[in-house]
Structure formats: C-alpha cells, structure tokens
Amino acid sequence: MISGLILALSGGAFWAVLGIVTACGKKQNAPIEIVQPFAGIIILIFAGWTVLLEDPFIWNSSSVILLLTTLLVGVCNYFMLNVLQRGMQSGHEGVVWAFSQSAMICPFALGILFFHEPAALSRIIGLLLILSALILFSLGRKSDCDHSGSWFGPTLAAFAIAGIAQCLASLPSYFQMQGLTPLRRMLILQAGIISAFLCDNLIRSKKINFRNRKAWLFAAAFGFSNLIALILFYSGQNLLADAKCASISYPAGQGVSIALVFLYGCLKARPDRLAVGAFFLLLCGLVFLSLQ
C-alpha cells in the first residue's frame, strides 16, 4: 500500500505542471484545446511503440467495455480542461484548479457505494471537509485580475466533468483487467483526447494550425509531464486497488497537484481569506480521506 501511495503522490506532482500550463497557455497563444491533442500526438509518438513489448491484449466483452471507458476518460479530459481554462481567465488560477480537482470525491463515493470499500469515520469527515471547502470557494470574491466574467460557471462544469472522468478511470483497477496495463490506459486516454479534438473542430468547422510553435512547446511540457504522471499514478492506483484502497489514489495525487498549483496562483494574485481558508480545509479533507 505504501508503494502505491508514493506512486500516486509522485504522479500528482507532475499533474501540477498540467495546471500551470493550462493557466499560462491562453495568454501565450497556446490554448489548451490545441495543446492537449498536440501533447497526445507527442505521447503516442514517443511511447506508442512500447506497447509491442508488453503481453498481448485479451479481447472479451469485459475488456472492450473497460477499454471504451478509458477512451471516454480522454474525451472528458479534453472538455474539462477547455472549460477550466475559461474559469482561470476570470478567477484566481489556484482557486479554480483546487475547486475543479476536488472532484476526487466522486471516485471516493464510487468505491464506497459500489465496490464495498470501507466507509470509515475518517473518510466521512474528509468528505465533509472537502464539501465545506467547495462552499467557501464558491462564496469567495472574484480575485483581482485583468479579466472580466464569471469564473464559477466554467469551474463548476469542469468539476462535474472531472468527477465523471475520475470515476470512469477507476473502473479498470477494480476489475483488474488483464492486459490493460498503465501504459495502455495512458495511450488509450490520449486517443480519446485526440478524437474529441477532431470531432470538436469538425463540428465547429475550425481550421487546425499545426504551425503554432508556442502550442507545440507547451504541448511538449504538457505531454511529457502527463506521460510520467499517468504511468506513476496508474501504477499506484493498481497497487492501492489490490489493498482495497483505490479510492485514496485520487485524493493523494490531486492533493499534491492542488497544493502546488494553488501556491503558483498565489505568486500571481493574492487570494481572499475565504479562499485561503477553503484551501486548508481541502488539504485537511484530503488527509482524512487517506486515513484507514
């Protein structure tokens, strides 16, 4: 269990880079709707061939269902980060990231309700603390920044989409699907992101600018950080699932990512007192969720 927790925490540290890239990308002419699929292409090029070195994939009805759920995670991630970046344009970047990534309570509830994970008192307290933090975040004033508009609507949408994605991402670990290794899950997820991007652009009839150099630079940072994060996190999640503790994988990983991105946001804009209080409530909630 300790090894799984360390891997999940390490993955969360690399996830923080994704939040920072999302926050900076729009201002640098590298919107996340372009950076994500470009990063997926980079990952497929650099890591796709390694699948040939792994054991053959076993095709059956259960494996196909779980494969499709992983593909849907990629689709959800694409739209989640798109709306999240809109929230970051008008609100405190650390607050927006913290609120949306608090969706880790969704796989926590999934594990208790459907997979018989223990509903210990500490986990119930953790859930209540996180919900309290979300309420405080929503009550806080809009941060002082140069953008206009509401941050709460896009951030709430990102929270909902992230919750669905994280629940779907947890399913393969519970079913212990043979052949769906962390690397395969990561590559399938990238395929989902690219598919969502292509469909989105076809529907809206938008032209894809493959010559956007800044987008490729941001995509490289996003892609390699995501590659390392997903391999570490999925490996840790599988180990935690073996110990009947898969639901703490997202609180652990996202807790590190939330803390680092919040600190980054504080360097750019000072959050209000409610937001700071909500941040510490959120961290306390993550600690309680991780207790056995």
- Give the per-residue pLDDT at 77: 93
- Give the per-residue pLDDT at 145: 47
Q: Is the pTM of this model over 0.85?
A: no
- Give the per-residue pLDDT at 204: 82
- Structural domain span for residue 21: 2-290
Provide the number of structural domains found in the chain: 1
Per-residue HEC secondary structure of the chain comes to: CHHHHHHHHHHHHHHHHHHHHHHHHHHHCCCHHHHHHHHHHHHHHHHHHHHHHCCCCCCCHHHHHHHHHHHHHHHHHHHHHHHHHHHHHHCCHHHHHHHHHHHHHHHHHHHHHHCCCCCCHHHHHHHHHHHHHHHHHHHCCCCCCCCCCCCHHHHHHHHHHHHHHHHHHHHHHHHCCCCCCHHHHHHHHHHHHHHHHHHHHHHHCCCCCCCCHHHHHHHHHHHHHHHHHHHHHHHHHHHHHHCCCHHHHHHHHHHHHHHHHHHHHHHHCCCCHHHHHHHHHHHHHHHHHHCC
- Give the per-residue pLDDT at 28: 80
| Residue ranges of the chain whose pLDDT lies below 50 | 143-148
